[in-house]
Structure 1
């Protein structure tokens, strides 16, 4: 493939540090691009999946590593990436983070001005949900890199971040200060921010994400990845066949189903059609319907029932609760097997046979960055060609027992168990959202 001006590698040896790494979405993306990575993840179950997948991992709290062990990180790391926890910003969460947006913007400016970490930490303790402050960690890592003797005080060359759409306002503020103010040492970045839809990059799922791609000044202007597939939009469907489909299944489901999609030749140019669940889950030979009571990226119109000819609704930690109906004929359906974890992972664009391990596997799947989408983001950030559409369709080769033991020795301090240096179970319980008081009569 001939490289275009956009597809010119900007780094000789990229090395990714993946914050809040989860079960490995961005690391699998980096693997697809043949780029080494190291992930920091505090959830024990996600780490078990990572070890089983053969991914370099530190089982640790991202904030604690920055404060206490930053100098132990490989000095050759030059790409900072991650998706901070989104629960307080998500439309599905308590909304605490959305209410604190202006306050968090103020902390961004204070960090860039060089205010002391200790002073800022004391202020952050007053946030009603401590997870809200985690969205600041990528910026704090970027600043810490410029103060690291082990790195020669060298800043990261590239920063790649993704989050739920509600965080776009914070990424815009990140971009503003990175471009105009710069880090306390004077380093500035050129930055792009937007909200992208994952189905337009071949992920068999509708999921919108706010993304930020930054390149250090001197490494060229960053660009967002070009969509490779058509967007999934209701206006592009054939309404007549949709009504017929709804009527055909109304007696069985007692609710209207989403009509089957119709490709529109005048939309999307040369892009491929979006990838359907049926195409991704080719092992399910019978046509099927999926009912989800969960919204998709804040778009109420994307709720309800979808056919195997459509992309999945947003895959969340509730994916194991999605009800799957299989066709007997045009008018009768029956409840079939629900999605396995392997199938749920494939809908997130993980390779088949990815070794999901530990507990809360559905939550791991739902929290992950879709690897194919991540590969497009990292590729654009690094000036690499977009991944092939089938780049992640080959079954994943799990780590051997010997490899797992080695990875866990490095990540946890022991070949077969967690140690005192790992986050403790009691620290991993997510804080409950504030209780809503009922209005008195």
Structure 2
């Protein structure tokens, strides 16, 4: 569902509370739209990136903030956003993900019916399993808590925006059913729309699908999903072609022109769409400290293609990137040494990996596991489209996110960290530890002993 009505903001002063904020994808989106935000993030390295970027942050556990310090959150927050961890909801494998999904649906219904959080917490402890399973309930719990907050005068959030991998769509659909039909325990109801969207159709130079939920409180009009601005990427026109005579799989090479004609505009549903953006579109030219990447180049991903683990996907600089994950630093890039020699070039820097996610050049990635931070983040340009649609704003200007990011000064970082961690230069006892939310070690598949060499 997309809107063709004239743009009319539904909120005069939107303020976003970003749960599970990561290194700042949705906050950068808010920055591009001139919307203030506060992010809650438990990972220390992601918080270091956020402080370096100048983003307002609480280094804290989302659940702990709700239980212990909800009243300290800014009362002017009126937009709730987030993407809870998704690792436990895969419906593949031994069925554990499906079992967790059905259990979560029951908890969603119980929360909406007014069951106490203490009772549900006790049941969750009894239920066991991966502790991240319960985190998908947090956006609903925050929505309910807002209606019970004296600091907010019991005012519910006006808008809710959630996103995650496609496997979580079924959770969002159940959220939608409860928010629309049952409502929150105080009677607040929302109009909701849910779908799976492709990020390359919003100008992100990457093939990535996300399940999204956009909700508006009743009385604020029907929500809509952002209309696409770019053409979808059709993999069948690009990837491996089977040589019918030899029966062999063909991969693109640096020497062949694999690019189909890319029209400047394509009419789809009455709307003029721009071509999708490729890796070369964003990486070839120098910008900020990025020197520009030599083209043409090929990228071989670190994971299997078409469901075949032993076969690595290969793309050219004229295509969008494969989904950027924590493995992005392992992708191999090939370039021409001369007309006849191909060699392995430099792999993507974190700056380049971030740009493939639509982060601005020179975004200050900090701490450890930076590739994982990049891969886990919401693509800012996609997030800007989501927020714009949710709030009735015009589509964002993508050029805002192509300008180099100005990192925070040391003084600004110290101030942000004083608020987020309780100390200007270090974490404190109140900061969460990474191991606090680590999944339990599986005992269903014993490790094989490797003989000593």
User: If the length of structure 2 is used for normalisation, what is the TM-score?
Assistant: 0.88
Task: Deviation per CA, 1:106-130: give whole Å up to 9, x if none.
Answer: 1100000000111101111224111
- Structure 1 residues 53 and 93: alpha-carbon distance in aligned structure 2, compared to 1, 3 A threshold: farther
- Residues 49, 356 of structure 1: 8 Å contact kept: yes
Secondary structure of the structure 2 residue equivalent to 1:169: helix
Q: Does structure 2 retain, via aligned residues, the 8 Å contact 1:276–1:310? A: yes
Paired residue for 2:420, among 402, 407, 411?
411
- What residue in structure 2 maps to residue 177 of structure 1? 178
* Deviations 1:377-414 (CA, angstroms, capped at 9, x unpaired): 00100011111132200000000111000000000000
Paired residue secondary structure (2:89): coil
Q: Identify if the C-alpha distance between structure 1 residues 132 and 242 changes in structure 2 by more than 3 Å, giving closer, same or farther.
A: farther
- Give 1:354 deviation, angstroms: 0.2
SS of residue in 2 equivalent to 1:230 = coil
Residue 106 of structure 2 corresponds to 106
Q: Assess, with a 3 A threshold, how the Cα gap between structure 1 residues 247 and 24 changes in structure 2: closer, same or farther.
A: closer
More strand by share: 2
In the TM superposition, residue 328 of structure 1 has moved relative to its aligned partner by 3.8
- Residue 187 of structure 1 is matched in structure 2 by 188
Residue 388 of structure 2 is aligned to residue 386 of structure 1? no
Q: Which stretch of the first structure deviates more once superposed, 140-149 or 327-336? A: 327-336
2 CA distance for matches of 1:20 and 1:54?
A: 17
Displacement of 1:98 in angstroms is: 3.7
Task: Work out the CA distance in 1 between the residues paired with 2:301 and 2:130.
Answer: 28
Matches within 5 A, 1:41-440: 41-90=41-90, 96-125=96-125, 126-237=127-238, 246=250, 249=253, 259-263=258-262, 268=268, 270-282=272-284, 283-294=292-303, 304-328=313-337, 332-433=341-442, 435-436=444-445
**1:150–1:5 Cα change, 3 Å:** same
Aligned residues: 431
Greater displacement, 262-271 / 283-292: 262-271
Question: 1:339-359 deviations in whole A, cap 9, x for unaligned?
Answer: 000000000000000000011
Note closer, same or farther for the CA distance 1:272–1:9 as it changes in structure 2 (3 Å cut). same
Counterpart CA distance in 1 for 2:100 and 2:34 is 38
1:248/1:384 Cα in 2 relative to 1: closer, same or farther (>3 Å)?
A: closer
What TM-score, normalized by structure 1, do the two folds share?
0.90
For residues 390 and 305 of structure 2, the distance between their equivalents in structure 1, rounded to whole angstroms, comes to 27
Q: Which moved more, 1:80-89 or 1:144-153?
A: 80-89
What is the CA distance between 1:6 and its match in structure 2?
Answer: 4.8
Structure 1: give runs of 5+ residues left out of the alignment: none
Q: How big is each residue's C-alpha offset from its partner over 1:196-230, in whole Å with a ceiling of 9 and x where there is no partner?
A: 00000000000000000000000000000000000
Distance 1:241 1:88, change over 3 A: closer
3-state SS in 2 of match to 1:114: coil
Listed as ranges, the gaps of 5+ residues in structure 2 are 285-291, 448-453
Contact 1:89 1:164 in 2 (8 A): no
Residues 246 and 258, structure 1, Cα contact 8 Å, conserved in 2: no
Residue 333 of structure 1 deviates from its aligned partner by 1.8
Structure 1 residues 240 and 185 mapped into 2: Cα distance closer, same or farther (>3 Å)? closer
SS at match of 2:352: helix
